[in-house]
Structure 1
């Protein structure tokens, strides 16, 4: 969504800045006054050029005190008073963002006259003098002055941007200019740093090389007032993220820190456009083609982990409802499952709901005795600093990062998580129960234990382009505060609406429009993430906002199913081709890690099932009646 600054008329009878600009040609000497004294000296340029050439893990540069301090303070004040921000959240980021500052010229006179210093800064940043300066340091070649591409981003505690390489369209150089509080120096422990990822090069038996980012960062650049960080956009190499801005321990500390507001102007310099010096016909198309090829060089999927390892069943498991579970099967399952879920009438109720909306959520699936063992084990794991080392890490980070464990050939009977992965969920008895609960014929399965560490882990949106399959997620998160318990109450609370500046309504559940005065607002309870979301795919080929990575805000209608991190709750979803799925980044503000066992089952559907029905339930259609929360004849009474 493109946003404009406040367009209220102000002094319409005066001369407009826009008209003045149309008649004024600013000299390089005048432009240089917008920057700090001495920046353009030859020896200073040489110093930054050498630092850039010697930098690791890939070429980048940091310039402190870039802009004239008085000018930048005025810019910050103009932003705080006159620029509105829209909260945006997808699988890859959570930020508050202004509109594209390239649109400043399109504002009416009254609005533009409120932002003279911001306009001056933008023109200085895209002046030929400074573009040539950046080009000389990076060796990137000519940069466009016509195609300006910049926005103001505000990160408050809980905001973040996950790993990506910025390779979109004609981008040539990426930059960030920080407008943090000039009178309260930013502290490294607040987070919000620009972090750079090193890459690993693999060579296969044929000598073909593949470059992929490592899961851990190797360079951390904390924000600082009037600091510019920039690097050439390099396909398959310039991977970076923005560290979460961390919460203060107390409200008093947050006030002392002036809200920990990480404000920055960020954007890109592009390849020269038609009519500009340095324009080469076909270069932009060639750049895009080469970028795609470089991103796909070698066999990158070969170095993605965890690997998909489905177990193909010799005999498909068919849902013979009339047969049900025999006594021996029930005797096995009752060791692990709440007995209420084995009652024929209850199993039929679950099946009826699943067939109707192709998803179901089952609360208290595990028995009291077994779930107590699982909880004790997980809590011990979280308390142990050494426990993580026995897990593998999912990579590459521009797709996902979490700890995982495959089923093991050797059962550790003292480990209930192993028992879930190696005995209960892959058993013929559970597969039969699942077939009965969904009326689907099962052909294969694969299982994975996952741990999403707070402040580190996530799984970005991925699509499924094959046959429909059943996907289960058994939530094993023992800590509270993830939204599962409060979901029903928040449905009513979140309907409060606030009139926005353009006359539309937007929810105010901690996501209201904000401006540069964010530090003056009352701090609100933050969403700690960790929810698993299914979304409809984006059919649009072009995205209006290039910073949005082909996924839409999670509040929109394309959310098909969402499940917060929870304890002893299983979701079962029929996922069709094209549906996206992600696990939202887990904030360091969470009370613990997100734990689950994820499973996928290849299925065959009856031809008459699902006709005319939606593939999955949408959030608007969900209700408490669609969540099974235990049964009177069950021994389970957990209410975490």
Structure 2
């Protein structure tokens, strides 16, 4: 955690530095004036009791100003920060400050004010203050749990409720630049979400967070915010710290949102207020909440399956009709697809490639004529703040996902726009499903189709696993009209590499992706291998914000797509661009899909595979637009076994 190593002064580095007992007056001197006065405590307790959307409070001037300035200087000069990125956050984080006493004396000498601050926050006097204001009950002074988090422009923390283990009160103390007051339009606010109580199909009461926040608390120097951790209720996020726009003042200190965040835990054995069995009860309550959270009864969107039986039953021989393209199918599909993807040679090549890789990415999938119409439709809305109308709705709950969505509707009468025609006519058609079956070599059944719009500075999906025993075919038609997502730049780099034959030229062409890592705007979709071993949900020592799926550094580069393997099948000069995503390094990424224009991705998803779309940064040039499909796969081996059994 400490930046520099120092020579030993001869003191045993393994002997922890003991906390020095402080008098009440000494402890009070480390806090703001009058904080412990009875009328001040009463005011904060009353404000806390009347707060919403759930109980919380904000305390200005919490710590003695000179002490906190000294803490900030020690952190800047001596504490090392590690960049961390998962599906739920992007931050720079210190080590666990609870372990300060375990540092060797030479390192500890660099952080005397930080040690004083930690001991003051977990002192009996301040714990009693927090307990009285919040009504949360006794708090542990033995189990300290805190870290320094730095949010640079682009950093964020998505919606979660902090319910892990024995946490009782969550807090955040801001160490932003005291001489350059934080401006609300820089972002970085703590935002609280209201919840609604609903009754599930089993008659049980569950709380569901609203898709939008109702309380915004901007950062401020020496300001403390805290709330009682409540399963299924204390949902909050940290707004992205926004990058400086052209024309804005550069006198902003770089917009570095530094804060100490952590938790007060229930009393441990031997402490006043310890309750035998309480830790087990909290673990049980946390597990129950996790089970309720997995209940998708109130989630939006819900899958709406399209069954093609009515279409196939119209044919005299449904089975033969199902696998063969006829002239009618070709005439229909050529209105939408690039003609080359309909040729027998290309379809055969795709089928062979899919059999080997279980995935495809097809560039320029839609025809030039139709894609031009579609692009014009989307650009009318891209990047604009709009209400959810014309069949669009907002995905909820926000601790799982948030984006705008629209279901495919084959019965829709209005297909006047190219977008509605794509969603309601082309993709749900039996002809497209026939082509998809031939291109993958799979026998396909019903499908669910959904249009999605990921708005910048708002939308994302957190990692979810696929838990059905049978594999599912999933496709994504990416129709993002704006540039700057990485995919378009990478394609230009690949073309440049092709023009140069030397290895030196190839290395040079790949270099910009690393240089532009901080310009990553998110919006990429990843399929990742899930962990074989269940994580210990009660392990508080690993991370100081809710656990997420770690994103490998190459996935968080400018492209968000990682490195690509070269296609093993040599493509013909006349073919459209056909490429496949992957990474030979064992980084957990199975497939990546950056936002781009007119690319169809197809993946065969197995049980346990995680999938998410990374939060779209405010600095993106537009929104991520796509249409996704989930298609049921019929196991031909099972059908053959049934037929063999019938013959016997």
Match of 1:121 among 107, 111, 117: 117
> 1:328: how far off?
2.1
392 and 600 in structure 1: CA distance in 2 versus 1, 3 angstrom threshold: same
TM-score by length of 1: 0.85
Show the 5 A alignment for 1:540-559: 540-542=534-536, 544-545=542-543, 547-555=545-553, 557-559=587-589
Instruction: Give me the whole-angstrom Cα distance separating, in 1, the residues matched to 2:278 and 2:46.
Output: 28
* C-alpha displacement of 1:204: 5.9
Aligned to 1:561, what secondary structure does the other structure show? strand
Given that 2:206 and 2:292 are in contact with CA atoms closer than 8 Å, whether structure 1 keeps it comes out as yes
Q: Is the contact between residue 200 and residue 297 of structure 2 (CA under 8 Å) also seen in structure 1?
A: no
**1:343-375 deviations in whole A, cap 9, x for unaligned?**
111111111111111111000000011111111
**Structure 1 residues without counterparts, runs of 5 or longer:** 498-506, 512-524, 609-640
Tell me how far 1:103 sits from its aligned partner. 1.6
SS at match of 2:389: helix
Contact 1:18–1:105 (CA under 8 A) maintained in structure 2: no
Match of 2:375 in 1: 375
Could you say which residue in structure 2 is the equivalent of 1:292?
Answer: 287
Q: Distance in 2 between matches of 1:207 and 1:102?
A: 43
**1:326: how far off?**
2.7
Cα 1:494–1:94 shift into 2, 3 Å: farther
Q: Is 2:108 the counterpart of 1:78? A: no
Is residue 9 of structure 1 aligned with residue 6 of structure 2? yes
Q: How far has the Cα of 1:319 moved from its partner? A: 11
Distance 1:264 1:254, change over 3 A: farther
**Contact residue 176 and residue 257 of structure 2 kept, 8 A:** yes
Conserved? CA contact 1:140–1:172, under 8 Å: yes
Partner of 1:305: 300
Residue 190 of structure 1 pairs with residue 186 of structure 2: yes
Matching residue of 1:272: 267
Match of 1:35 in 2: 31
Tell me: CA distance 1:496–1:372, structure 2 relative to 1, closer, same or farther (3 Å): closer
Check if 1:394 corresponds to 2:391: no
Deviation at 1:210, TM superposition (A): 2.6
Q: Are the aligned partners of 2:472 and 2:633 in contact in 1 as well (CA < 8 Å)?
A: yes
Deviation (angstroms), 1:605: 4.4
Name the CA distance, whole Å, in 1 between partners of 2:322 and 2:160: 52
Q: 1:264 to 1:508 in 2, by over 3 A?
A: farther
In structure 2, what is the Cα distance between the partners aligned to 1:343 and 1:403? 35
- Counterparts of 1:340-355 in structure 2, within 5 Å, are 340-355=340-355
Confirm whether residue 604 of structure 1 aligns to residue 598 of structure 2: no
Work out the CA distance in 2 between the residues paired with 1:108 and 1:261.
Answer: 29
Q: Within the alignment, does 1:244 sit opposite 2:245 as a pair?
A: no
Q: Is the 8 A contact 1:62 1:227 kept in 2?
A: yes
- 1:325 counterpart SS class: coil
Distance 2:385 2:19 in 1: 65
Counterpart pick for 1:566 among 596, 614, 638: 596
1:255 aligns with: 250
C-alpha deviation, 1:84, in angstroms: 1.0
Instruction: Please give the secondary structure, in 2, of the residue aligned with 1:301.
Output: coil
RMSD, matched Cα: 2.8
Q: Deviations over 1:600-620 (max 9, x none)?
A: 001134559xxxxxxxxxxxx
Question: Which residue is 1:635 aligned to?
Answer: none
How far apart, in 2, do the equivalents of 1:318 and 1:116 lie? 79
Structure 1 204/105 Cα, relative in aligned 2: closer, same or farther at 3 Å? closer
Give the aligned partner of residue 617 of structure 1: none
CA–CA separation in structure 2 for the residues paired with 1:20 and 1:475: 56
Q: TM-score, normalised by structure 2?
A: 0.84
Secondary structure at the residue paired with 1:84? Answer: coil
Whether 1:356 and 2:351 are equivalent positions in the alignment is no
Contact 1:195 1:218 in 2 (8 A): yes
Residue 201 of structure 1: how far off its partner (Å): 1.9
Post-superposition Cα deviations, 1:239-287, rounded to whole Å, max 9, x if no partner, equal 000001111113x746321110000000011111122111111101101
What are the Cα deviations for residues 538-571 of structure 1, in whole angstroms up to 9, with x where unaligned? 2342263252524223437112111111110010
What do residues 363-421 of structure 1 show as CA deviations (whole Å, max 9, x unaligned)? 00000111111111111123765564331110011111111101122232212121112
SS in 2 for 1:175: strand
Check the 8 A contact 1:235/1:294 in 2, yes or no: yes
Matched, 1:138 2:139: no
- Say which SS state the counterpart of residue 101 (structure 2) adopts: helix
Supply the distance in 2 between the matched residues of 1:174 and 1:31 (Cα, whole angstroms): 21
CA distance change for structure 1 residues 421 and 170 in 2, over 3 Å: closer, same or farther?
same
